[in-house]
Structures are given as structure tokens and as C-alpha cells.
Chains A and B, each alone.
Chain A
């Protein structure tokens, strides 16, 4: 199975500041023939299901604020929140869908400093 490792496990950022979450896969999730990275990011608030934010590593889901962006390729990926808002407090997960079984990172808890 592809192991997804996120860093850090938790993060405290001041309102309006940048938040950066990293995700590393144990093998490449770049499909060479399509040049697509099979990597998604989700946001989960307490008591709620996960919400899709980013897919194909950098494509923002419809309705997701543009302060959220995804980058990276191969085995190293980043989710960036450019200016943290109070409503962004949540746990964030990366997921690879390159190979079965699809696997998730352990999650990064984002809080306000």
C-alpha cells in the first residue's frame, strides 16, 4: 500500500497568516501518460464529514475559496491557505488515488494561534 505521511501533525497559525501543510507519499502518484498527480486534499470540521478541497493535486473544487491552493508532484505535495480565516479551523487530510487501496494521510489539525 502507498503510505501517506503528513507534516506537521498539528499547526497553529495567526488569523490572516499563511498555513502550509505537507504530504509525502511512499511512492510516486504521478501517472506519466496523463501527467496527472492522483492526490486530493480534504477538510474535516468537528462532527462533519470530510469535504473535498483539491483534486489532481492542484485543481480546486467548485465553491472552495481561492485562498486554498495545492501544489507538488510525484511524492511531495503541499496544501496552502494563503490567509487563514477562523472558519478554516479543521483537520486536513491528503489522499492518494493512484493505486488501490486509496490511502489517506494521518491528518493535520489546524488551529488559530
Chain B
């Protein structure tokens, strides 16, 4: 059974940093690309970042480029999102998700809420 469990969310002041983690189990983690997708309260879905299965390539939404860094540790089956210089508009539920043969997302975590507020 595939499981993706996010952690590390919470309330943070504007300009500060936060690191999200996503613990994966039930599938060969090192074989799949992984994504972060976010959803602001009551809003739609916004793709944030992707990392290739081996970590060799990464890509980001323009809205987070230069502030967020996606990474992974395949020995620990864990995906990360380092978020720096946080803004109020980064407030959202952050989901990690697994892709398959293309960037459609076949499995999602339950999500973790990040609130950026003073």
C-alpha cells in the first residue's frame, strides 16, 4: 500500500524558513519522480516543484523559483521542500505526490498546512 506522509508544516512569520518532509513507503521510491503541489485555502491546485527519480533534475513554478528547493534522500525514502523567504501568499496545504510515466500524479499525501502570518 502506497503511503506518502507530509510533516513539518505550521505557522511561520513572513521572511522566515520552513522545511517540509514527505515520507514514502509501499513503492520503490528511487524509481519515481516526485512533486509538491499546493492549495491555498478554498482555492485550486498549484504545482510547485518536481524532482527526477534520481535527483538529477529539478524544476519549479515561477512563483517559488529562487526561494524554494526540492530535494530527496532515496536512502531514507524521503522528499523535502525547503521554503525560504516565505510570504503570506505561500499559505496553503502542501501535498507531495508521485508521478508515473509523465507528470500526472497517481498518488498524493494527505497534505500539510503551512500558514505564513505575523
Contacts and interface: CB of A to CB of B under 8 A. Distances in A.
A68 interface: no
A104 B104 contact: no
Contacts of A107: 44-45
Interface string B85-118: 0000000000101000011111111110000000
B111 A49 contact: yes
A31 to B, nearest CB: 10
B54 interface: no
A93 B102 contact: no
Contacts of A101: 47, 59, 61-62
Contact of B109 (A49, A51, A102, A105): A49
Chain A interface mostly helix, strand, loop or mixed? Answer: loop
Contacts of B103: 97, 100, 102
Given A49-B95, A101-B61, A93 B105 contact: no
Contacts of B59: 100-101
A103 interface: yes
A104 B95 contact: no
The secondary structure that dominates the B interface is strand
B108 A51 contact: yes
A52 B47 contact: no
Interface residues of A, number: 21
Interface residues of B, number: 20
A104 B62 CA distance: 15
A61 interface: yes
Interface in B39-74: 44-47, 50, 59, 61-62
23 contacts: A38-B104, A40-B104, A40-B105, A49-B95, A49-B97, A49-B110, A49-B111, A50-B45, A51-B108, A52-B106, A55-B104, A55-B106, A61-B106, A93-B44, A95-B104, A100-B50, A101-B59, A101-B61, A103-B47, A104-B47, A105-B44, A107-B44, A107-B45
Interface of B: 44-47, 50, 59, 61-62, 95, 97, 102-111
Interface of A: 38, 40, 42, 48-52, 55, 61, 93, 95, 97, 100-107
